Structure 1
């Protein structure tokens, strides 16, 4: 089996950058294209009415660009040769799936971070949701501090 195009998401956190490192290493081994995605935008607060002022920014577009630059540096350091970065407005899971289909990605990489956040308890983790909805292989990188 060979992966030709690998995609990974980042939100700028240390753990998501570890997932980028994992994806970049895979891209180097398989000589695959690497697509690094950062979803930006705002989401409704849990438990509030869906009013305009009920939205909180999760990641701004500017922040997204900063995160992608850091991720690109890590991917280069890991030996990935063809790195593409994409900042896209939307939900992280939907964004990864859209980018994956558009670029014919055959492997999605995500970190296991976030299992204890409010969003994850209410809506489910990004890793779990991607594994459930993806049409390609999903690699979940262990990004915990105690590994």
Structure 2
């Protein structure tokens, strides 16, 4: 049924709910593997140079965002193991989140993508789905569970 479950996390409450749902599914299908993916938006050096205020020790934005994404994935992996997940792998990628999630799912031959309804970038506009979950659900070639 679902042997490879991809969970997209961004540190938001809804992405952690999606992780919980993936763990529940893995408990029903012990052979299933959970892939935890955090995608950060790539920033070029040109974009960084446009900043009005530049501290002397300014890091390249990609470096900071990449580290944050790694921290999010590591935290999600720890939570997954604490809640009984067995086969868990973490990944960090740069790019447009919806495109990267769909491409990653195809490359890894994922059977199910689990995403939260809204992530850290969504505002309280009253819409049911955030833009990333909407695009993933619209473009993925496998089933998508929106939590």
Tell whether the structures are fold-level matches, with TM greater than 0.5: yes
Instruction: Report matched runs for 1:1-147 at 5 Å.
Output: 2-31=1-30, 32-42=32-42, 52=47, 53=50, 60-114=65-119, 117=123, 125-141=131-147
TM-score for both structures, normalised by structure 2:
0.76
Bigger CA radius of gyration: 2
SS in 2 for 1:60: helix
Distance 2:29 2:83 in 1: 13
Aligned residues: 128
Distance 1:116 1:14 in 2: 12
CA contact (8 A) 2:4 2:112 kept: yes
- Flag the structure with higher strand content: 1
TM-score for both structures, normalised by structure 1:
0.76
CA contact (8 A) 2:39 2:94 kept: yes
SS in 1 for 2:41: strand
Greater relative contact order, per chain length (Cα 8 Å cut-off, separation 6+): 2
Shift of 1:107: 0.1
Distance 1:75 1:116 in 2: 24
Shift of 1:43: 6.3
Gaps (5+ residues) in structure 2?
52-60
Gaps (5+ residues) in structure 1?
45-50, 142-147
